[in-house]
Amino acid sequence: MTTDIPNTPAKRRFDWKGLAWLFVFFWYFSGVTQALIQLNGTSGFAGFRDAFFLSSLWLIPVLLFPKRAKLIAGVLGLVLFLCSLLSFGYFLIYQQEFSQSVIFVIFESNDAEAGEYLSQYFVWWMVPAFLAYTAGAALLWTRVRPVQLARPKALIVSLVLLALFVALPIAKQIPRTPTLADAWQKFEDRIEPAVPWQLLIGYRNYRQQLSGMEAMLEANAKVPPLTHLVDSGAGLPATLVLIIGESTNRGHMSLYGYPRETNPELDRMKDQLSVFTNVVSPRPYTIEALQQVLTFADEKHPDLFLTTPSIVDVMKQAGYKTWWITNQQTLTKRNTMLTTFSQQADEQVYLNNNRNQNAAQYDGDVLEPFAKVLADKAPRKLIVIHLLGTHVNYDYRYPQEFAKFSGRDGTPPGLNDDQVKTYNSYDNAVLYNDFVVSSIIKQFGATDPNGFLLYLSDHGEDVYDSGKHDSLGRNEGRPTVPMYTIPFIAWASPKWRATHDWNFAGALGRPYSSSSLIHTWADMAGLSFDEHDRSKSLVSPAFVARTRYIGDPYQPSSLRDFGDLAKQQPDQGAAQSVTSQ
């Protein structure tokens, strides 16, 4: 006797291989860069770990809708791919992880400046690297296939993934943080290594910062005045000039001992100048540096630029009419936070209205409006001049008649032809900057003023000066001495010298950070007020040498002593002749 067995289909085995291909595809867009970071030894394991686990969240939609797995993976993959190009490219340039701080700098830059950076740093070998990266993504997508999982099981797996990699990390932070918002912030910090969260979180923070920037002008009007401000020259005519340079490393200035003659004009008037030889910037980025340089903010109190007077405010309170002349690109008056500072002045002159910064917009253009302001009948004037200085792309910072330096003489050893060209272009930009700054001083002096002028750069620039001569630009994540060493030069008219103590011979070599500039400026201007700390004034007899911190004050663990950095990098090329003084 036989028994008929029903013809039932064989139980289908779960497609683990298909699931693995799906995971690798989604992991690729965060994981490749994180793997390179690990291989290069530039960061800890946490970023690689978090990107690995977070990539599994993209499995949820393809598990829930397996019939459309290929399409869903393709759409998500394209978005992740486009977002990942920034972090991948940034690593290729800097060998560093693309961070939220970098995103802030990118979004604060306008399109033209971003394009200029691209033209400065993009090199030929990046093309095949990007092509290979793109080919890898396309190849992995061809391996994607539907992974069948019963709907109840797919829902359970999805909930488990969300619980493990979203809910649980937030829940762990709640007991450690005062509010749920703080716990969420910690969670955001954790997911930053993965795309697209780098851009999404960065953009949201940028919008918040932008909103704060716009509100800053309104809030600035409500900042309480300084307490018991006294001006030793109150009632007397006076004109004070502050020149803010850009990206100029004093190690490339012959005024500071650089072998190439990059400062013929300033060299000739050296006897009239107070040349301070040991001043550094707190940060290597314009906006972040000036938040401290122009205000009472510092590494311990980074937000004071929002709630205390700036140098412009101080001088307005002292009875000065204020101007801000800028050659920094200004497509709109609220293009960057720099515009916020400029709007604090009574009058502004925006010179650079080019859509494309790669244009012949030279700093010499500030001379004409400066002359007009000097001729203004206001008895007491503060004039801030913000230059483009030696900002990349260096070729666009000087007219051809200043293209003096070429060839390999005077350049670091081992540079290729393109690097030699860049190095020479930077020195030519320094040469033109010498012409502009010296012309401003001469123009000012010709009016027989009662006043002084101070010139400093916002930060320095590493142009193949340090280590193996392979570093170009600025990178706070991998600091070098030339990124922070800046010129700091003062000039005073005979009338001002006659009524003010201007003998700074004993102060020229003092170690100083421009983050305390407002205290030095007050002493130079003959001002006193309760908030004035003379121990932070470079020219005061009460000066006290302090640790010169560099780094992001919003990440205190990243702060470091510039003196320690200088000791760790003893060979900084030309810059070292002055930084050790």
- C-alpha 496: how far from its chain's center? 36
How many Å apart are CA 59 and CA 54, to the nearest integer? Answer: 10
Q: The pTM is what?
A: 0.70
CATH superfamily label, 239-579: Alkaline Phosphatase, subunit A (3.40.720.10)
Domain locations along the chain: 16-208, 239-579
* Letter string b/e over residues 328-339, b meaning 16 or more CB atoms within 10 A of that residue's CB: bbbbeeebbbbb
Query: What's the half-sphere exposure (Cβ side, CA atoms, 13 Å) at 208?
Result: 7
Q: pLDDT tens digits, the chain, 581 residues: what are they?
A: 444 545 555 556 889 999 999 999 999 999 998 888 878 765 667 778 888 899 999 999 999 999 999 999 999 999 999 999 988 987 887 666 776 546 655 654 556 556 665 666 677 888 899 999 999 999 999 999 999 988 999 999 999 999 998 899 888 888 888 888 888 878 887 887 888 987 787 777 667 666 766 777 787 888 899 999 999 999 899 999 999 999 999 999 999 999 999 999 999 999 999 999 999 999 999 989 999 999 999 999 999 988 899 999 999 999 999 999 999 866 444 356 777 888 899 998 888 754 344 445 699 999 999 999 999 999 999 999 999 999 988 998 999 999 999 999 999 999 999 999 999 999 999 999 999 999 999 999 999 999 999 999 999 999 999 988 989 999 998 999 999 999 999 999 999 999 999 999 999 999 999 999 999 999 999 999 999 999 999 999 999 999 999 999 999 989 999 999 999 987 654 444 433 33
Euclidean distance between CA atoms 503 and 501, whole angstroms: 6
Residues 6+ apart with CB under 8 A from 325: 348, 349, 351, 366, 369, 370, 373, 383, 384, 385, 386
**Quick one: tokens of 20?**
């693995």
How far, in Å, CA of 91 to CA of 99, rounded? Answer: 11
Q: Rounded to whole angstroms, how far apart are CA atoms 288 and 459?
A: 10
Which residues are CB-contacts of 147 (< 8 A; sequence separation ≥ 6)? 14, 15, 18, 19, 22, 62, 63, 66, 69
> Using H for helix, E for strand and C for coil, what is the string for 336-382?
CHHHHHHHCCCEEEEEECCCCCCCCCCHHHHHHHHHHHHCCCCCEEE
- CA distances in angstroms from 422 to 92, 394, 416, listed in the order given: 19, 7, 10
The structure tokens listed for 422 are: 């860049």
Q: Under 8 Å CB-to-CB from 512, ≥6 apart: which residues?
A: 276, 278, 279, 280, 488, 520, 538, 548
Contact call for residues 96 and 88 (beta carbons, < 8 A): no
